[in-house]
Structure 1
Amino acid sequence: MREIVLDTETTGFNPKTGDRIIEIGCIELHNLLPTGKTYHTYVNPQRDVPPGASKVSGITTEFLYDKPLFVQVVDPFLEFIGDSPLIIHNASFDMGFINAELERLCRNPLSVMRAIDTVQMARQKFPGSPASLDALCRRFGIDLSARVTHGALLDAGLLASVYLELKGGRQVAFAFQAESQSSHGTLVQEISQYKGREFRPSRSFSLSEEECQLHQEFISGIKNALWTR
């Protein structure tokens, strides 16, 4: 099963008041495991990046000056995600920004039904516990040393590991793989074991009259014996 782990960085919290996407990061999963295929781009938001947002992401207005506009990256982005489910931490936030960008280009919005929200997954699995990405990484022992600032592709990578743990996928994926290999190995061993053996037809053994008489005496003492039905 193909899934896409997705994260964005933005200029703020509300696309309806003019905040824009400044970075997109995606990681492809197949059967809960990363395939190595990614999509990543910075986006010129055509506005300044506020100091608060810049402090979180490390992305400045000057850095984005020569980066492509969303209209220039929209087709490669949509092609990469295809119609696969989208794994997003706090899905309503990222989906809101992506659909706002698509609306500006008169493009069809992405269905919110295709988003799998890992915040909701975490709250269902660990009621009352913190559900931030940092908190979940610490819970599952995922290395956070590289996360000096937020980055879309880096956070997507961390989220992929968190999602795998939330699904129990590490055990499931590797158990499935091991079981498949083990079954294949057993079959190969059985084939090798019997390969080259001489074929011997089945043999029948006739009973003597004395053996038949002894058998009849034996079953006569059994109530509703199968041999008499």
Structure 2
Amino acid sequence: MVLADDERMVRTALRAILSAEDDLAVVGEAATGAEAVSVVRRLEPDVVLMDVRMPEIDGIRATERLLRTMRTPPRIVVVTTFENDSYVYDALRAGAAGFLLKRAGAADLVQAVRLVARTDSLLYPAAVRALAAAHARTRRTTALRARLTDREADVLRLMAQGLTNAEIAARLGIGAATVKSHVAALLAKLGARDRTQAVIAAYESGFVSPG
């Protein structure tokens, strides 16, 4: 993974925690948003821990650039001080897999990295719901629902709960490959780059209700 934070002490602490785990490896660091884009493109890590506020370009713009330009982009987790920070919501809308609070403990940090690295689940979906409710701009429930098949609607609701493709397949009694096809169709219909953006669209439209 790559650690992007403008504070050297933060990067050092994160590296010490993560490198102590046998299944995790830190392959690079960046002190600015622009440097993060360059390092991630060169190293192609599976996961990036991206500070939201950095010099040159912030974590949001860096996330957008990486997800837009890389053939196989990493799972990006934004790191922030406050979970209700508007920067966090913008990063999620840009396609970040979730966020971590800087005050999180070592065990929570390791668990979060493993989650986003090994699954297609969102990180802290409950917090994503709350952020979407606070920042919702439009309500187009009927229009969005009309574009989806019944099964796609079911899949989108379960995605919004943070379920992985495998968990959705088990819940609906269908194959994982079928779920993957439904997810691909959803992304196309919603104009979403990834499942995080699809979930954000579902909340902003009112198709899925926070809480």
Same fold (TM over 0.5): no
Greater fraction helix = 2
Which structure has more relative contact order (CA 8 Å, sep 6+)? It is 1
Q: Which has the larger radius of gyration?
A: 1
Give the TM-score taking structure 2 as reference length: 0.27
* TM-score normalised by the chain length of structure 1: 0.25
